[in-house]
Amino acid sequence: MFHISMLKKCMSDPSLIIPTENIGIKDRLSYVEVPIEILDRQVRKLRTKEVASVKVIWRNQFVEEATWEVEEDMKKRYPHLFEFGEIPN
């Protein structure tokens, strides 16, 4: 576990300081999330229609961080997630 005392020790040691002028940063740095698996499915009833949603786990995220997405949109963007078998209910 990280303790404040460890940070104080590092901050007081000049040999541990990294000069920032040597670090190159790209102007157009981006990160694309990729869905890995559909964990669940639900249908919500609105006044005039029903909306199906799927719970999606994304690359580099924990199961607790999975998000609910509109099923129709996910099928258009990531059809490979729907090719193999049934979606959990």
CATH number at residue 47: 2.40.50.40
16-39 mean pLDDT: 78
Residue 28: per-residue pLDDT: 77
66 occurs within a structural domain: yes
3 occurs within a structural domain: no
Residue 62: per-residue pLDDT: 87
63-82 mean pLDDT: 94
Residue 6 predicted with pLDDT over 60: no
Q: How many domains does the chain have?
A: 1
22 occurs within a structural domain: no
Measured CA to CA, the distance from residue 38 to residue 52 in angstroms comes to: 13
Q: By the 8 A CB rule, do 66 and 56 touch?
A: yes
Measured CA to CA, the distance from residue 9 to residue 11 in angstroms comes to: 6
82 occurs within a structural domain: yes
Using the Cα atoms of residue 33, residue 77, residue 45 and residue 37 in order, give the sign of their dihedral: negative
23-41 mean pLDDT: 84
pTM for this one? 0.60
Identify the residue with better confidence: 26 or 58. 58
Q: By the 8 A CB rule, do 51 and 43 touch?
A: yes
